Amino acid sequence: GMYVFLHAVKGTPFETPDQGKARLLTHWEQLDYGVQFTSSRKFFTISPIILYFLASFYTKYDPTHFILNTTSLLTVLIPKLPQLHGVRIFGINKY
């Protein structure tokens, strides 16, 4: 859910005075006006990591669950990297 909410859906849920500049940006790119390493961005980055550790611990590091949890963690963390700010890989979510 976090990936879809922060990295896949573009635009804003309400009308903004920016005259449509935000319509091509995801919520993550709009968060804190694009400034990196703010407290809210750190929270959204650390929360999936904590959930990953909890899920791994409670599944007793079962290999199947571990691979699924690691894959889902990477799909959420990689788009949050500052190097990928505004980048559309393979043109996905370009428009």
pLDDT tens digits for 40-86?
999 999 999 999 999 999 999 999 999 999 999 998 898 888 887 77
Tokens of 12: 């804003």
User: Of residues 14 and 71, which shows the higher confidence score?
Assistant: 71
User: How far is the C-alpha of 76 from the C-alpha of 45, rounded, in Å?
Assistant: 8
Q: Degrees (nearest 5) of the Cα angle 26, 9, 29?
A: 10
Reduced to 3 states, what is the DSSP secondary structure of residue 10?
strand
Q: Please check the confidence at residue 19 and state whether its pLDDT lies above 70.
A: no
